[in-house]
Structure 1
Amino acid sequence: MISSYQDLVKASQNEHEPQRFLFVFCKAELPDDASAAERAAFERGEGGALTPVICVDKTPDEAPDFTVLAEESRTTGQDWDMVFVAAMSGRGGTEPSSDEAQQPMTMMVESIRMGNVGNYLPLDQSGQAVSLG
């Protein structure tokens, strides 16, 4: 069971093929037409919509520790509340390239925008898995 980013990195080391991680950092936002109840829930840290603000792909070796990844994200100037992670497997012992990751990353962003996040690992700002819903 994966309950943190470190668990994900460890699991990737046990895969037969090399991995590339896809990261979509999201900001929780409240729609302009939100009701008073929705606003109150949002103030308690519940509800809202997750808007992708940063996308990046890295190998587990390029991002072995979540704190380094989080620090790097802060250099963009974009605030974020949660990050979704997916993994791509290589073929024939070769890891997927960044170019190969572009289409899956675009599909991942669109999926998150539509609220379909079940295929991704959601992590909080400290790299711990989050239960959604």
Structure 2
Amino acid sequence: MDEPQRLLLLLAKTESHGGNGSETQTGTLTPVICVDKAPEELTDFRSLVAEADQVTRDWDLILVTSLSGTADNPPTSEQAEPHLHKMTNDVLSGQDLSRYVIFDRNENLVFIHPRDGIWTV
């Protein structure tokens, strides 16, 4: 049975530490803002970027996950709050981010591999 979802979004700023001449880069991630949204509140990626930019343009990546509801009831913003805190803590502490779908501003998928407290793309 499909349960109603709430989307959890974290905008993050990257600080590059250079690369090795390929598409791989290393650096650090810093959380900028978190927000939860009902899926019907989002129309497309471009609109999401525009909405985020109204708050701040100081972000490079968006991490996305979802939270399931129960018994046909979607989760509330209050229920999403501890999960948003976990997302923030995962970024700050260099945890494995493979549980999140990560996009850059142009809707390109980004794969992040933790290594010694820095990220590689």
Q: TM class, shorter-chain normalised?
A: 0.7 to 0.9
Task: Supply the RMSD in Å over aligned alpha carbons.
Answer: 2.1
Alignment of 1:100-119 (within 5 A): 100-116=79-95, 117-119=97-99
Give the match for residue 95 of structure 1. 74
The aligned amino acid for 1:123 is F
Q: CA deviation at 1:42?
A: 9.1
Alignment of 1:38-117 (within 5 A): 38=17, 40-41=18-19, 46-116=25-95, 117=97
Q: CA deviation at 1:41?
A: 2.6
**Alignment pair present for 1:27 and 2:10:** no
5+ residue gaps, structure 1, are 1-14, 31-37
In 2, Cα distance between the equivalents of 1:78 and 1:109? 18
Aligned residues: 111
Percent identical among aligned pairs is: 33
In 1, Cα distance between the equivalents of 2:58 and 2:110? 18
TM-score by length of 1: 0.75
Shift of the 82–42 alpha-carbon distance from structure 1 to 2, 3 Å rule, reads farther
TM-score by length of 2: 0.82
In 2, Cα distance between the equivalents of 1:132 and 1:110? 16
> For 1:17-39, what per-residue CA distance to the aligned partner results, in whole angstroms no more than 9, with x for missing partners?
11111001000025xxxxxxx4x
- The structure where helix makes up a greater share of residues is 1
In 2, Cα distance between the equivalents of 1:42 and 1:109? 28
Give the match for residue 102 of structure 2. 122
